Amino acid sequence: MSLTFLVLSTFLASSVESVEALTIILATGITRGWYSTLLAVGAALLSLAVLVIVLGPAIATLIPLSALRVLIGVLLLIFGLQWLRKAVLRASGLKSERDEAAIYLKEVDALQQVKRNRVSQIDWTGFVVAFKGVFLEGLEVVFIVVTFGSSANNIPLAALGAGLAVLLVTIVGLLLHRPLSRVPENVLKFSVALLLIAFGTFWSGEGIGVVWPGEDWVLVGLLIGYAAFSWALVLFLRSQRAYAPAPATTMSGGQS
Amino acid sequence: MKIVRGFLTFWYDFFIGDAWELAAGVVITVLIVALLARSPLVTLAWLVFPIGILACLVVSVLMVTRKKKA
């Protein structure tokens, strides 16, 4: 393996993993708040650094990546489905406005509590989702560096390729987070739920031995398929409500 | 005892919340797909997985609509 090819290979492979991590970070940060998300990113990177320092190049053989993928994938699926269920119910008008008002009051109350205690400011759901995403993808980047670097007998150069990829993706993330913040909240929550489910399906599938057609590209197909089905479900529920005797509520269906 | 119960309640609420059927459905789907991936029907596993996940969503949403109607 030539040195240029080594840097290019680790750069490209790490870019794919970094983009996946960035997607989770942006989605969690915009919907659940940046404080908890950035704290999770820092914690995940610190955990990875400790793992790399303690285990060294043996990390690629010592960590059961498949088991980790299943665990993280299943958790993402559970969180994602919970979010998607709520988003579908809201979009179809089945989640009442009174619930929204109650949530608003709860959030205000929570924020007031936060002023008294900094620790309670952490949104644990956001923290866990962001931590898992960054930790798993980061671990995969480490594996890429170790496997590519070991085969070319040059781990520092492989790390350089991966480092450049992470740097580039971080810059893209910094540029993207502001425009994304302007997207309506309901649309974001719907989208984030779909992303979590797509990633959860993909990762847990890989962990249990599913052979995905198109490898990483299947993520796009999963996302489109889940989005189309969820929207069809919203339309079905709306049509059912049209025949219901109760008066229609003014839910933000069009926003999702 | 109170601490243990509080600890377990926290994690139950955190992971399962008010939709136990979603967590149960995901675990059952993953188990079925894992079995499929180790059987001669391995090529079907990738297709069955998302269908199972969508079925979980539909069941959970229908449970909510039924509850509202009752």
Query: Taking a C-beta distance cutoff of 8 angstroms, is the pair A234, A88 a contact?
Result: yes
pLDDT at A120: 61
Residue A237 vs residue A19, higher pLDDT:
A237
Residue A22 contacts residue A133 (beta carbons within 8 Å): no
Q: pLDDT tens digit string along B24-33?
A: 999 999 999 9
Q: Is the pLDDT of residue B47 over 50?
A: yes
A226 or A146: which carries more pLDDT confidence? A226
Nearest Cα neighbor of B37 from A204, A168, A250 is A204
pLDDT (tens digit per residue) in A76-104: 899 889 889 988 988 888 775 445 455 54
The more confidently predicted of residues B16 and A147 is B16
| Chain A residues 70-89 with CB within 8 Å of chain B | 70, 73-75, 77-78, 81-82, 84-85, 88-89
Interval A115-146: pLDDT, tens: 445 556 788 888 888 898 888 888 888 877 87
Using one digit for the tens of pLDDT, what is the confidence trace for A191-210? 878 988 998 999 899 999 99
Tokens of A36: 């908890």
The pLDDT score that the predictor gives to residue A102 is: 58
Residue of chain B nearest A93, judged by CA positions = B65
Interface A-B, measured as beta-carbon pairs within 8 A, has a size of 85
Q: What is the pTM of this model?
A: 0.69
DSSP for A170-182 reads: HHHHHHHHHHHHT
Query: Tens digits of per-residue pLDDT, B12-23?
Result: 777 787 889 999
Per CB-CB distance under 8 Å, the chain A contacts of B58 are 233
Most confident of the ranges A9-18, A119-128, A207-216? A207-216
> What's the half-sphere exposure (Cβ side, CA atoms, 13 Å) at B63?
13
Joined together, the tokens standing for residue A151 give 């085969």
Per-residue pLDDT for A35 more than 50? yes
Q: How far is CA A255 from the centre of its chain?
A: 21
Q: C-alpha angle A197/A76/B42, rounded to 5°? A: 65
- The CA distance from A97 to B8, in Å, is 32
Is B30 exposed, middle or buried (CB count within 10 Å of its CB: 0-12, 13-18, 19+)? buried
Residue from A213, A52, A77, A202 nearest A139 by CA? A52
Average pLDDT, chain A: 79
CB A194 within 8 A of CB A85: no
- The CA distance from A87 to A230, in Å, is 9
Q: How confident is the model at residue A32 (pLDDT cuts 50, 70, 90)?
A: confident
For the record, the structure tokens of A175 come out as 């540029």
Whole-number pLDDT of residue A154: 79
**In this predicted structure, which of A59-68, A134-143, B34-43 has the lowest mean pLDDT?**
A59-68
- CA A160 – CA A9 distance, rounded (Å): 11
CA neighbours closer than 13 Å in the CB half-sphere of residue A175: 6
| Banded pLDDT at A151 (limits 50, 70, 90) | low
CB contact under 8 A, A210 and B46: yes
A143 membership: H or E segment, kind and range = helix A124-151
